[in-house]
Structure 1
Amino acid sequence: MKKWWPLVAVCAGTFMLLVDVTIVTVALPDMARELHTTFQDLQWVIDLYALVLAALVLTVGSVADRLGRRRVYLIGLVVFALSSLACGLAPNVGVLIAARGVQGLGAAAMFATTMALISSSYSGRERGVAFGVWGAVNGAAAAAGPIVGGLLATHFGWRWIFLVNLPVSVVAVGMTLLVVRESRDPHPSRVDVPGMVSFTVAAAALTYALIRGAWGSGLTVVMLAIAVAALVVFVLVERRSEYPMLDLALLRHASFTTLLVAGALLSAAAWASLTYESLWLQTVLGLTPIQAGLVLLPASLAAFAVSAAIGRVLHTTSPRLLIGSGLLVIAAGALAQGVIRTGSSWWVVMPGLFLVGIGAGLAMAPLSATAMGAVDRSRAGMAAGAVSTFRQLGYAFGIAVLGEVFDSGLSHGLSHGAGAGLPAALSGGQAQAVL
């Protein structure tokens, strides 16, 4: 049992940071009412965390290769805990959004190092089991966020979805200091600051444009142009840099590039819609946060059980089969949830959520393990960062794109005869008052 304590320590932090991606989902209506937010504010509360996490995880992975992965992981834990405190005490939505951005910075330091720490701690069959457990934690965390958030929001208030991170962080720091050994790249490279800046600007500008919508407006067009220009600069910088943040040569390997795209699509298809389903469950059907969390629970249980079972056969089964079938099952689950109509009850989405959980459980562990195995160990931090970046960008873009569909649908459907301001009221958690 002693050999598995490093895995427990790493998974504790991973679970906490990934829960915080989706934990706010069921608390959005309460936040909207108490802080008097707009729909765009609600999107940024979720998206800024995922965006900062995605934008910085690659850079932090390179820094961790140089400074030490355990050290960077511990720094991330401390930053995450302090920013969680700021979120829990936020007096207004502006402070909350800013604190969520800092929280994403701490999460990036943690997430960029978890796979590399596991890879350096285990080998052979044990590594397959470890990544299976880590994948199970990923699946459970992503979908357990709503139920955990529902419990805390119902009994203690929405602020406790952030304050609960403080004791968990203390335990995670203590365990990491005791049982996780340091690892680093024996030939570290310099930090690629130009690459970091250009990539961050590209991701932020694109996400902002997607959330803002209004495609004919000058500001949206400018933000899209900035995103394209920054991405071009990033590619040029990385091609000429002696120590790139992301070695573009890795993208010449079709398998590695496919895994990155698959990770982005998985996060967007599996989890992004939960935000809007939660608004429907609570603000239209009138469920409490904990009831909404229980409706979303099948996805969590299925993802955890399937991913844990996959770990035992990960080293003997074709990852192509597991990842491909997992994505297809997620697609089937998404389609099965497209049955919501006027008068629908909460139970109509549960079969689809169950399928999404099964698909995520099938795909996540082999996706991560295969990506790590596709590169040299000295590039473990870079590979882990790339996979994490694409997964979180997929989630952030999924939230933004679905938000545009959601907001545009409300605006179009209610623009004739229903009165001005109703779309904002409905999307801000005031559906019951409107009804």
Structure 2
Amino acid sequence: MRKWLPLTAVCLGAFMLLIDVTIVTVALPDMAGDMHADFAGLQWVMDVYALALAALLLGAGSLADRIGRRRLYLGGLGVFAAASLACGLATGPAALIAFRAVQGVGAAAMMATTMALLSATYQGRDRGVAFGVWGAVNGAAAAAGPVVGGLLTEHFGWRWIFYINLPLCALAVLVTLRAVAESRDPQAKGLDLPGMAAFTAGAGAVTYALIRVGENGWTSLTTLGLLGLGAAAFAVFVLVELRGSHPMLDLALFRSRPFVAVMVAGLLLSGAAFSYLMYVSLWLQSAEGMSPVGAGLALVPMSAAALVVAAVAGRLLHGAPPRLTIGGGLLLAGAGALLQAWMLDPGDSWPALVPGLLLTGVGVGTGISALAATAMGAVAPARAGMAGGALNSARQLGTALGIAVLGAVFHSGLRSGLGEAGRELSEPLLSGGAGRLLAEAPAGAARENLAGLVDAAFASGLRDTFLVSGAMGLAGALAVFLLIRGTSGKAAVPSQGTAPVADLAEPVRS
């Protein structure tokens, strides 16, 4: 079984970096109470990790090709472990956010090298087995995140969601040193540092503007200035990629309509399906009084459905047109969010969300299984690695921007539900303090009235959040149906010169 040790090393890293996207969700109320973090701070704890992943993935892949994938993977494990320790030791929200960003840097180095290491290590049937196990581990990480986070937070404290990474990183380093061979691309070109800087600045400015819009308003000079800065940075990114000698993203790929559809789908599917979970967790724990484990279990229907459906869809729908699998998946994800908005009323608890969570999970499992294969089939073989990296970046950016956009919507809806008399309660509620407010209220009619106000406020904020999430899913489905025409046909390949491309009616099996 020694031949599977490299797979073990790679899967350990993949599991850690992916579970850390969702493991934080159920720990947010405890973090807020322990460190007195405000609503924007909680959003940044979630967002900055995804932003670092989105911004650095493509550049990390290029660096790995040059200096060695094993070397960069080991470096990523080291950075991830050190940042995890620092996150656990953080004494304030600013330090935690900063160390979460560093953790995202290490995760980007790991994510950018996992597939390349498996491709270099295994051939033939073994490669298929390796990628199958790797894909299952990725799905399991997303499903396990809220539950593992709940167990660690409830029984050991929220800091252990970071400390648990240390022994896993040590094991991954040991196995990698003993079993994984070095590989690199002898034809690798230079790094696109200006492109990385411009993309990071643009994504960061837009995300910060959206996170602060609840306090600043959409028309404030701060919001408009940050959005303008983000637009300018993205414009610089486009110019750099068009004129640079070693662009990290060949913008000619976007001449392919199917490739554009995949990027839009990855962005909106992540935003529609996953970004509202932190606000649901705040509601379940602070207003409904559920434990971290209970809140984690309440979110399992979506991730479990996605995991099961993705496994089934990979076998049964491998020949289905991506227009139907990806577009249909987005349609179901959007419908699931809208179903949650329709079923949630003041006084309801977590069971009201289960049907919508299951429907969203089915949509995620259906659509996500075809995204990577369609991205690969829409570009020339020489650009397959770049296309995969771009898709992963789009998905992480969708999560980050979705958290920011839905945070503004949730903030506005909650304040609207409170009415004029209760506006001063909005920040404590947004920061996970609903349980404390209710406990401190005088017993009797005053507490009952406050409980009714809190229920109405959360129901209002969550309904608006689900409605916007549903609109994201439906918009993504519409884009896919418009951009991928018909059920068969060739897609133009816009790389350097003309190259054949897989028929999108028969996407490559993942």
TM (norm. structure 2) is 0.80
1:157 corresponds to: 157
What residue identity is the alignment partner of 2:13?
Answer: G
Cα distance in 2 between the residues matched to 1:220 and 1:234? 21
Cα distance in 2 between the residues matched to 1:405 and 1:318? 35
What is the CA distance between 1:161 and its match in structure 2? 0.5
Distance 1:419 1:365, change over 3 A: closer
Distance 1:263 1:133, change over 3 A: farther
2:394 corresponds to: 390
- Aligned-residue sequence identity (percent) comes to 60
Distance 1:332 1:419, change over 3 A: closer
Distance 1:3 1:298, change over 3 A: farther
Cα distance in 2 between the residues matched to 1:334 and 1:133? 30
Conserved? CA contact 1:89–1:159, under 8 Å: yes
What residue identity is the alignment partner of 2:11?
Answer: C
1:424 corresponds to: 427
Cα distance in 2 between the residues matched to 1:256 and 1:211? 29
What residue identity is the alignment partner of 2:201?
Answer: V
**Equivalent of 1:340 in 341, 344, 350:** 344
2:284 corresponds to: 281
Conserved? CA contact 2:415–2:423, under 8 Å: no
In structure 2, the residue corresponding to 1:417 is in which secondary structure?
helix
Output one character per residue of 1:186-235: Cα deviation in whole Å (capped at 9) or x when no partner.
31111011111111111110111111102222111111111111111111
Aligned length: 434
Higher mean C-alpha displacement, 386-395 vs 309-318? 309-318
Matched, 1:66 2:66: yes
Output one character per residue of 1:52-94: Cα deviation in whole Å (capped at 9) or x when no partner.
1111112112211222222212211110011000000111111
Higher mean C-alpha displacement, 265-274 vs 352-361? 352-361
Output one character per residue of 1:79-132: Cα deviation in whole Å (capped at 9) or x when no partner.
001100000011111111110010010011111222333444456676565544
Output one character per residue of 1:339-386: Cα deviation in whole Å (capped at 9) or x when no partner.
221010211111222222222222323312332454455545423321
**Equivalent of 1:253 in 252, 256, 259:** 256
Conserved? CA contact 1:238–1:248, under 8 Å: yes
Distance 1:372 1:179, change over 3 A: farther
Cα distance in 2 between the residues matched to 1:127 and 1:358? 27
Conserved? CA contact 1:303–1:358, under 8 Å: yes
Higher mean C-alpha displacement, 191-200 vs 299-308? 299-308
What is the CA distance between 1:159 and its match in structure 2? 0.4
In structure 2, the residue corresponding to 1:343 is in which secondary structure?
coil
2:404 corresponds to: 400
Cα distance in 2 between the residues matched to 1:274 and 1:250? 33
Cα distance in 2 between the residues matched to 1:84 and 1:109? 15
Cα distance in 2 between the residues matched to 1:71 and 1:379? 23
What residue identity is the alignment partner of 1:398?
Answer: G
Cα distance in 1 between the residues matched to 2:188 and 2:105? 22
In structure 2, the residue corresponding to 1:341 is in which secondary structure?
coil
- The structure, 1 or 2, with the larger RCO (C-alpha pairs under 8 Å, 6+ apart) is 1
What residue identity is the alignment partner of 2:370?
Answer: P
What is the CA distance between 1:415 and its match in structure 2? 4.7
2:504 corresponds to: none
Distance 1:13 1:308, change over 3 A: farther
What residue identity is the alignment partner of 1:364?
Answer: I
Distance 1:260 1:131, change over 3 A: farther
2:239 corresponds to: 236
Higher mean C-alpha displacement, 226-235 vs 324-333? 324-333
Higher mean C-alpha displacement, 310-319 vs 250-259? 310-319
Cα distance in 2 between the residues matched to 1:211 and 1:62? 31
- 1:73-112 alignment, distance < 5 Å: 73-112=73-112
Distance 1:400 1:146, change over 3 A: same
Conserved? CA contact 2:143–2:307, under 8 Å: no
What residue identity is the alignment partner of 1:166?
Answer: L
Cα distance in 2 between the residues matched to 1:16 and 1:64? 19
Distance 1:179 1:367, change over 3 A: farther
1:25 corresponds to: 25
Cα distance in 1 between the residues matched to 2:363 and 2:157? 32
2:458 corresponds to: none
1:323 corresponds to: 326
Cα distance in 2 between the residues matched to 1:300 and 1:83? 27
Cα distance in 1 between the residues matched to 2:186 and 2:117? 15
Conserved? CA contact 1:334–1:352, under 8 Å: yes
- In structure 2, runs of 5+ residues without a counterpart are 439-510
- 1:154-193 alignment, distance < 5 Å: 154-193=154-193
1:211 corresponds to: 211
What is the CA distance between 1:2 and its match in structure 2? 5.6
- 1:28-67 alignment, distance < 5 Å: 28-67=28-67
Cα distance in 1 between the residues matched to 2:376 and 2:225? 37
Cα distance in 2 between the residues matched to 1:215 and 1:55? 25
- 1:111-130 alignment, distance < 5 Å: 111-122=111-122, 130=130
- In structure 1, runs of 5+ residues without a counterpart are none
Cα distance in 2 between the residues matched to 1:321 and 1:123? 31
Distance 1:419 1:394, change over 3 A: closer
In structure 1, the residue corresponding to 2:420 is in which secondary structure?
coil
Higher mean C-alpha displacement, 335-344 vs 357-366? 357-366
What residue identity is the alignment partner of 1:209?
Answer: A
What is the CA distance between 1:336 and its match in structure 2? 2.3
Distance 1:252 1:120, change over 3 A: farther
1:195 corresponds to: 195
In structure 1, the residue corresponding to 2:421 is in which secondary structure?
coil
The structure having more radius of gyration, on CA atoms, is 2
Cα distance in 1 between the residues matched to 2:227 and 2:275? 22
In structure 1, the residue corresponding to 2:299 is in which secondary structure?
helix
Distance 1:3 1:333, change over 3 A: farther
Output one character per residue of 1:137-163: Cα deviation in whole Å (capped at 9) or x when no partner.
333322421111100000000000010
What residue identity is the alignment partner of 1:350?
Answer: V
Higher mean C-alpha displacement, 60-69 vs 221-230? 60-69
Conserved? CA contact 1:195–1:244, under 8 Å: yes
1:413 corresponds to: 417
